[in-house]
Amino acid sequence: RRFSRRPAVTLLDVFQLHARRRPRQPLLRFQDEIYTYEDVDRRSNRAAWALSRRLGLQSGRTVAVFLPNEPTYVWTWLALAKLGCPMACLNCNVRGRALRHALEAARATLVLASPGERGTTG
């Protein structure tokens, strides 16, 4: 029944429901760190604010995300969902022509990458 609901229930909706109902419950464990729903919600709010206010990101603009598999990826994805921005997920292990093709196919207006992800496209 959830799939037929209009508007559809999104992963962001489910996350926000859990964040309200059980804010101190662990959501992520990464190395020695544990992040609760509240932690992730707060961090994604800060990221959304920075993307919106400092970079002028507006709803509907596609953002390519070139980040490694770590917690930052989760709150970046949530921040973009909160702003209404589609996210093009780029594999951070891809380089060269494959990376260039992925970037062109994404048609993103912004690429978010960590300092360690300085791949070349050509």
Angle, CA of 117, 121 and 122, to the nearest 5°: 140
What pLDDT is recorded for position 9?
A: 83
Q: How many domains does the chain have?
A: 1
What pLDDT is recorded for position 77?
A: 96
For the chain, the 3-state helix, strand and coil shares in percent, each to the nearest 5, are 45, 15, 40
Residue type present at position 5: R
For each of the chain's 122 residues, which pLDDT tens digit applies? Answer: 555 667 778 899 999 999 999 999 999 999 999 999 999 999 999 999 999 999 999 999 999 999 998 999 999 999 999 999 999 999 888 889 998 899 899 999 899 998 765 554 44
What pLDDT is recorded for position 3?
A: 59
* Total number of residues shown for the chain: 122
What pLDDT is recorded for position 94?
A: 86
Residue 89: name the closest of 114, 70, 108, 117 by CA.
108
Report the predicted TM-score, pTM, of the whole model to 2 decimal places.
0.84
What pLDDT is recorded for position 5?
A: 65
User: The domain containing residue 88 runs over which residues?
Assistant: 11-113
What pLDDT is recorded for position 54?
A: 92
Angle between helices 71-83 and 11-21 (to 10 degrees): 110
| Tokens (6 digits) for 68 | 């490694």
Is 68 a domain residue? yes
37-to-10, 14, 15 alpha-carbon distances in Å: 17, 11, 8
CATH code: domain of residue 106:
3.40.50.980
Is 77 a domain residue? yes
